[in-house]
Structure 1
Amino acid sequence: MKAIKKINNNVVICEDDNKKELVAFGKGLGFPAVPYKITDLSLISMTFYKMDRSYYKLLEEIPPEIFEVSAIIVKKAQRTLDCKLNPNLLPGLADHINFALARMKKYKKMKMLFSYDIEQLYPKETELARYAVKVIEKNLFVKLPESEITNIAMHFVNAEEEHVTSSSDVNMDEIIQHITNEIEAIFQVEIDRKGFNYNRFVMHLRYYMKRIEEKKQFVDDNSALFKAVKSESPEVFECAMHIAEIIDERLKSKSTEDEILYLMIHIKRILKNNISI
């Protein structure tokens, strides 16, 4: 196996003997100058094929200790869940943990609730998420709210589905394109459709519409956080409400406050790195 690009000291992009690209994790893999041949394969703790390249930048930005904890959790998930997991679970989970820690610092007094509905629907994933929270708390010296069990459980649920498709005649791609155009028009920006934040937003929209179809919308009473984000970014709130109306009109549904909260968070992320037209 050949390391062809360093992400950080413990993560490298590699080519296997069949010239297929993969991401390899292992202590010290990024220390030698690349390219180089990895002769001792015991140094590699985990590999991922078919990871979306838009996640590579994220691998560079998130602190190594968060990725190390995420790798421990994903390894446990691979052993526990009897299915093929999406290769983007690791960077997605690391991104979520990083965001959760930042959110805790900014909104110290906010309380978000554990979802018993999610626990009933996905008991195996919830139990795995309890384990994940314990690992995060032990290794990163933090105390997470119980709601993080719900949030992390949903990452496992999402990773178990290779492709998110609609069970009805709803054209998800058409709706997402329409929503993207609306955001560009409202904020007078040109969205980078190949960027990581946009890809994350698209995936969120797909699961959002799937939850509506399956009547499993988030209902976790995040009203305090919802009000705080709305107050901070009223234009983003108006945009999120507009998007929710588009989806609700097409799917004959009523989006919950929690779903609109997550829309606001994703819209803010997209706008953060886009330049005005």
Structure 2
Amino acid sequence: MLAVTKILNNNVVIAHHPDYGEVVLIGKGLGFGKKPGDEIAGLEAEKFFVLKDKNEQEQHKSLLEYVDEQFVGVMNEFIDKLETRFGANLNEHIHIGLTDHLHFAVKRIENGQGIHNPFLQETELAYPQEFAVATELTEWFGNQVGIRIPPGEIGFITLHIHSALTNRDLGDINRHTQMVSELVGMIEENLKMTIDRRDMNYLRLVRHLHHAIERIQFENYVDNQDALKAVLQKEYPVCYNLAWKLMKVMQRRLKRSVPDAEAVYLTLHLQRIVDNVREIE
């Protein structure tokens, strides 16, 4: 038996576990009629989670000082639904990071402040599965808190989900998403064209840039494309030179060397976009 310490809502309860300390129990009607000090059987819960990291525990306690308990309960259900959808345990920091983020997002919406996300499309293209789940659960969340959540917020939620799924730092993911947007701007400026965001080649380019940034950051390159590089340099000099400009930006931002093989992949992606525009014209 566990001792109830807090009732967040009818479905979410914080209790004291003899081995794990503070745990969060989730289950339909679990908190109904309960009050602090009551005993509750852990088996009654459909799910419970433990914040194992001491720093995360302290941050969670701080969160409860300024975020309404009912809201925290909704967020715990939200994250439970996420883990069910992906069939994976998410990095526990999402309980603090996403709750804090959405708490202030709701406050901004209630105060009539807009939520602008200039990287929404790039985020959807880079992380389509996370974006689809975020779209679905954002509608559920909006119904729970009685507010219509604007589309731009879905992109931010997507990044939190991707961070928790991959154990990557959210700050890095944000910076990389912004970098991809800037690289696309460089491409349009250098090629003196506006890329059709609905074009499949654009989708492939954006996904490649995200994957390239990850490979460069973690130094996960094993390719050698010297033979093809010489051919592309001769056949497509404009796109080849632009590829190197993009590589220099990535190298400077990531503070990592970018293998020459990347010039081959980027040149091919860029040339496909150029060829598609010519076909349309």
What TM-score, normalized to structure 1? 0.53
Moved over 6 A (4+): 218-221
Q: Which residue of 1 aligns with 2:153?
A: 148
Asked if the contact 1:73/1:132 (under 8 Å) is kept, the reply is yes
- 1:159-198 superposed matches below 5 A: 159-162=164-167, 164=168
Query: What 5-or-longer segments of structure 1 have no aligned partner?
Result: 165-205, 222-250, 255-277
User: Which residue identity does 1:21 align to in structure 2?
Assistant: G
How far apart, CA to CA, are the structure 1 residues paired with 2:173 and 2:42?
Answer: 44
Q: Tell me how large the CA RMSD over aligned residues is.
A: 3.2
Secondary structure, aligned partner of 1:14: strand
Q: Structure with the greater relative contact order (CA < 8 A, sep ≥ 6): 1 or 2? A: 1
Deviation at 1:22, TM superposition (A): 4.2
1:84 aligned to 2:125?
Answer: no
Secondary structure, aligned partner of 1:76: helix
Secondary structure, aligned partner of 2:253: coil
Q: Which residue of 1 aligns with 2:178?
A: 217
Q: Which residue of 1 aligns with 2:200?
A: none
Deviation at 1:97, TM superposition (A): 1.6
Q: Quick check: 111-120 or 152-161, which moved more?
A: 111-120
Asked if the contact 1:85/1:159 (under 8 Å) is kept, the reply is yes
State the Cα deviation string for residues 108-162 of structure 1 (Å, max 9, x = none): 3564446111111111110111012111222222111111110111111111134
Q: Which has the larger radius of gyration?
A: 2
Q: Which residue of 1 aligns with 2:211?
A: none
Q: Which residue of 1 aligns with 2:76?
A: 71
Asked if the contact 1:11/1:29 (under 8 Å) is kept, the reply is no
Secondary structure, aligned partner of 1:6: strand
User: Which residue identity does 1:81 align to in structure 2?
Assistant: F
Secondary structure, aligned partner of 2:63: helix
After superposition, the Cα gap between the structure-2 partners of 1:29 and 1:46, relative to the gap in structure 1 and judged at 3 Å, is farther
1:6 aligned to 2:11?
Answer: no
After superposition, the Cα gap between the structure-2 partners of 1:48 and 1:59, relative to the gap in structure 1 and judged at 3 Å, is farther
Query: What 5-or-longer segments of structure 2 have no aligned partner?
Result: 183-250, 255-281
Q: Which residue of 2 aligns with 1:247?
A: none
How far apart, CA to CA, are the structure 2 residues paired with 1:110 and 1:33?
Answer: 38
Asked if the contact 1:7/1:30 (under 8 Å) is kept, the reply is no
Aligned-pair identity (%)? 23
Deviation at 1:46, TM superposition (A): 3.3
User: Which residue identity does 1:41 align to in structure 2?
Assistant: L
**26, 31, 40: which one aligns with 1:28:** 31
Q: Which residue of 2 aligns with 1:58?
A: 63
Q: Which residue of 2 aligns with 1:47?
A: 48
User: Which residue identity does 1:23 align to in structure 2?
Assistant: V
Asked if the contact 1:125/1:153 (under 8 Å) is kept, the reply is yes
After superposition, the Cα gap between the structure-2 partners of 1:109 and 1:78, relative to the gap in structure 1 and judged at 3 Å, is closer
Q: Which residue of 2 aligns with 1:38?
A: 40
After superposition, the Cα gap between the structure-2 partners of 1:29 and 1:20, relative to the gap in structure 1 and judged at 3 Å, is farther
How far apart, CA to CA, are the structure 2 residues paired with 1:209 and 1:142?
Answer: 30
Q: Which residue of 2 aligns with 1:207?
A: 170
- 1:229-268 superposed matches below 5 A: 252-253=252-253
After superposition, the Cα gap between the structure-2 partners of 1:33 and 1:141, relative to the gap in structure 1 and judged at 3 Å, is closer
How far apart, CA to CA, are the structure 2 residues paired with 1:218 and 1:72?
Answer: 33
Q: Which residue of 2 aligns with 1:93?
A: 98
State the Cα deviation string for residues 13-70 of structure 1 (Å, max 9, x = none): 4215xx1234223442794343x5423632x343112352121221343223322332
After superposition, the Cα gap between the structure-2 partners of 1:220 and 1:28, relative to the gap in structure 1 and judged at 3 Å, is farther
The number of equivalent residue pairs is: 177
Q: Normalized per residue, which structure has more helix? A: 2
